[in-house]
Amino acid sequence: MADSPAPRLHVALTFDFDALSSWIKDRTHTLPGVSRGEFGAYALPRVLGLLAKHDITATFFIPGHTIHAYTDLCRSIVDAGHEVGHHGWVHENLKDATEAEERRIFDKGLEQLARIGVTPAGYRAPSGEFGPATIDLLKEHGIRYDSSLLGSDYLPYYMREGDSWTHDGPYQFGTSIDIVELPFSWALDDYPLLELAPGFSDAQREPSAVREIWQAEFDFAYDECPGGMWVLSMHPEVIGRGRSIRMLDGLLEHIKSKPGIQFSTMGHIAEEFRTANPLEQWRASGAFHAR
């Protein structure tokens, strides 16, 4: 049997199932505040239903706290065949954490993932921020890919370690390591576009306007980056609202109308990239970012 042709574009639908954790991490003390996160659990079945309708296998990044609070719902994600990655414990922003704190957070997340039978291949940093030990922890625990950085849009690359910089000196690029970076973009994230969260996202756009942004990004990737990827980052508590999930439904119909599209998990994209671009060859070429 002949090998299947390589897809023109991988499309990865990713969901950060933060639920209560996003609000508890800020030490929200009122029930109305915390209930905003509870809506994520309420909306998750809508998201899973839409994925089933379109026969799409997606990637979910889940904080340990969400698994602790909604174990059965999280198991339903795994049972539906979706990939699950590490997303912290209680959605902590790690930039001010100590190394000891970060290690404790990472281990707590791993413990909860194990409860639903998951050994994660991927990681997405809560709030998109690394701590002092992030790269070491990813290496120590055999994490195969990350989706926290923004150094490319439609092409994977190998993560680097050892970058250094000062305000008045040249940027020093570090060494590529065996962790594939599958970058995300705030422009392809539902939260800042569709959710009202004072201090983070202060204006809600109409779903039709968000579709225009996302579809334009997709069309460019499809036309100009053959062999690349298009990664959409969403949250059940945001995209799961009625008008938003209908917008996503329509966008998926547009995407599926294009020949050569393949809906893929992040893990699949990372391994395909690694096979096509062995790390030693990547290093020998002098590459330090996507190409």
Q: pLDDT per position in the chain (291 positions), as tens?
A: 446 678 999 999 999 999 999 888 766 668 888 888 899 999 999 999 999 999 999 999 999 999 999 999 999 999 999 999 999 999 998 998 999 999 999 999 999 999 999 999 999 999 899 999 999 999 999 999 999 999 999 999 999 999 999 999 999 999 999 999 999 999 999 999 999 876 666 668 899 999 999 999 999 999 999 999 999 999 999 999 999 999 999 999 999 999 999 999 999 999 999 999 999 999 999 887 777
pLDDT of res. 1: 41
| Residue pair 14/60 in contact by the 8 Å Cβ criterion | yes
- Residues in the chain, overall count: 291
The pLDDT of residue 27? 62
* Token pair recorded at residue 281: 């060859």
What is the C-alpha separation between 15 and 231, in angstroms, rounded? 10
Copy the structure tokens of residue 133.
């030990």
In angstroms, what is the C-alpha Rg of the chain?
A: 19
Quote the CA–CA distance of 244 and 208 in Å, as a whole number: 9
Q: How far is the C-alpha of 192 from the C-alpha of 235, rounded, in Å?
A: 11
The torsion region of residue 95 among left (phi > 0), alpha (psi -120 to 50) and beta comes to alpha
Contacts of 198 (CB under 8 A, 6+ apart): none
pLDDT of residue 289: 78
Q: Would you tell me how many other CB atoms lie within 10 Å of the CB of residue 57?
A: 15
CA-to-CA dists, residue 186 to 150, 190, 191, 207, 250, angstroms = 9, 8, 8, 16, 21
